[in-house]
Amino acid sequence: MKNSVYLVFCLGIFSASYRAYGMPSPDDDYNNDDIINDDLVDDYDDEPKMVSRNENYTVAVGATVSLPCKIEGEDPVVQWTYSDSKREKKPVRLFFGTHRQEADHRIYLSADFTLTISNANLKDSGQYKCILGFKNVTENELNSVMYYVRVGAPTPKIAAMRPANSQTLMIGQPMTFMCEGQGKHKLDVYWLRELKYLNRNETINSREIKYDKVKPEHAGRYTCVVKNRDGKDMKTVDLIVLAPPVMSAERRVVTTSENFESELKCISAPNNEKIEVTWYRDGQQIIPNDKNYFVNVNGDDKSVKQYTLRIIPTKKNDLGTYECTGVNKYGRNSSVIMLIDEPLPPVLLSGNPSGDNGYVLTYMSESQIKFLNYEMAYKRQQDDDWIYEKNALGSNENVLEFSHTFKDLSPHTYEAKVRVNNLNGWSLWSEVTHFSGQSTMAKEKEVEVMQSKLLELNTGHNPASSINIRKSYFPVVILLIFFFLN
């Protein structure tokens, strides 16, 4: 009973206190905002925020790397931590605020909280984190920025390169390029010309190029490349070769016909000097744009330059030998082009066995007017006299492919050549082709047949012979068993 009275008394006291102190009176000028600290509002407005973003860095041994921790807002509190690459151990605290937590003075903190690692080594690889904290947030609300740093071996370098500067040489002078590299791991050192690999016969080894006598085609930009798994280094040097023009015909023989347009094309290799080109026919200089001759030029002297002589229309007396001659202050050079109205000499495209004792040769030729015939000449290699066969073509194609089949050839080596004609005459003979009169497969088949016959003679293909063979091996087997048992 006493306890019940005591409980009621306490509840009455609590209720009175709540009315007196806990509740505002209706007359009070009450505003809920009055209980909020204005300084606290300002603190939330100036709440520090992380601006830096996660990033990866790869640096060489010995390099310096800076990891920013950019923060907006007042009075930030930061800490930097480090975890090794494998992340098998707990993170190590490097700095708390501005206070160093580790003794490694290669790692230091700037006033803006940037963490700098100087003279980096392989052990510095790992994860670095800048963690932002302030007084009005709990630990699970911290902002952070994370960096993954990989420290590798130093990138390779070109230790020496000769020549170090561009060279200008006269044609025929000697020239040597050499390159040496340095790096921690195995190096590949090689040269490129115009960013292309050089031919094997141009290099002593991958690091050295030696020209006993430079030629115009050796001119260009040379690049030394030193590389390994850690990276690469490159340097370039130019070689300029002073030389007379190098002239070449796009086609040494051009076929045409009367009243057709003819084009003769001549090309000059890149040259550092201005080139003057003149055309001649049968030794007589051609005046451009005079009568039916027209000259076009494409390109410039420092690149491949093309000179085209157009003859419109072509007449019978325009046929002959043409010469394009290039001249600069170092000399002159020429290239010769034949203009004919017969077909071009046939060119062999393919040769294949046909049946057991046959062979097929396929050729290509070109003519401005209708093909009429072809003539095949062939013989055994050891014979002196050719055998001739003429066959009709009757094709209006300008470029023609045609085939000839040889049949019932004996097993010898043969020689063959062919020519074609049009209304203007016969072409020159093609180059001589060699082929076998019997296919290798047929020979192998003959060998198989012979082996089969020999086997048949030896065994007789009867059960008795097989039994005799097995009997002949029986004593040998007995002796071997006896030897191993003893």
Is 268 found in the same domain as 361? no
Quick check: is 367 in a domain?
A: yes
Give the count of domains, the chain.
5
Please, is 339 exposed, middle or buried when counting C-beta atoms within 10 Å of its C-beta (0-12, 13-18, 19+)? buried
Q: Assess whether 176 and 203 both reside in one domain.
A: yes
The winner for highest mean pLDDT among 58-62, 320-324, 440-444 is: 320-324
| Same domain membership, residue 206 and residue 192 | yes
Between the alpha carbon of residue 159 and those of residues 155, 165, 181, the distances in Å are 12, 15, 5
Q: Please give the pLDDT value at position 185.
A: 87
Of 34-48, 179-193, 262-276, 396-410, the poorest mean pLDDT is in 34-48
Name the pairing type of β-strands 143-152 and 126-133: antiparallel
Residue type, 70: K
- Residue 219 lies inside a defined structural domain of this protein: yes
Select from 180, 214, 242 the last residue of a domain.
Answer: 242
For residue 66 the two structure tokens come to 């800076």
Same domain for 146 and 171? no
Residues 376 and 448 in one domain: no
Which pLDDT does position 447 carry in this prediction? 47
Q: What is the mean pLDDT of residues 155-160?
A: 93
Top-confidence residue, 2 or 50: 50
pLDDT of amino acid 236: 97
Indicate whether 8 belongs to any domain.
Answer: no
Of 99, 106, 64, the residue nearest 78 (C-alpha): 99
Distance CA 67, CA 75 (A): 20
Same domain, residue pair 110 and 90: yes
Residues 143 and 162 in one domain: no
Stronger pLDDT, 41 or 318, i.e. the higher one: 318
Burial class (CB in 10 A: 0-12, 13-18, 19+), 322: buried
On whether the pTM is more than 0.95, the answer is: no
5: in domain: no
- Residues 354, 336 share a domain: no
Domain containing 124 equals: 49-152
Considering the chain, what percentage of its residues have pLDDT values greater than 70? 78
Domain end: 242, 260, 290, which one? 242
Residue 466's pLDDT is 41
pLDDT digits (tens, 9 = 90+) for 103-128: 899 999 999 999 999 999 989 999 99
What mean pLDDT do residues 131-136 have?
68
When the pLDDT of each residue in the chain is averaged and rounded to a whole number, the result is: 82
Give domain status of residue 123, yes or no: yes
Find the range with the poorest average confidence among 24-28, 177-181, 379-383.
Answer: 24-28
Q: Are 331 and 359 part of one and the same domain?
A: no
Please tell me whether residues 447 and 423 are part of one structural domain: no
DSSP state of 372: E
Span 403-417, pLDDT tens digits:
999 999 999 999 999
Point out the domain boundary residue: 152, 181, 215: 152
Q: Are residues 71 and 117 in the same domain?
A: yes
pLDDT band for position 465 (50/70/90)?
very low
pLDDT, residue 301, reads: 67
Position 37 in a domain: no
Is residue 389's pLDDT more than 50? yes
Residue 353 lies in a domain: yes
| Closest to 210 (Cα-Cα) out of 185, 241, 182, 174 | 174
For residue 32, pLDDT over 80 is answered with no
d(CA 69, CA 51): 8
Q: Among the listed ranges 3-12, 114-123, 199-208, 346-355, which one has the minimum average pLDDT value?
A: 3-12
pLDDT of residue 84 exceeding 70, the answer is yes
Indicate whether 453 belongs to any domain: yes
Please report, for the domain that includes residue 219, its CATH number.
2.60.40.10
Regarding whether 333 and 251 lie in a shared domain, the answer is yes
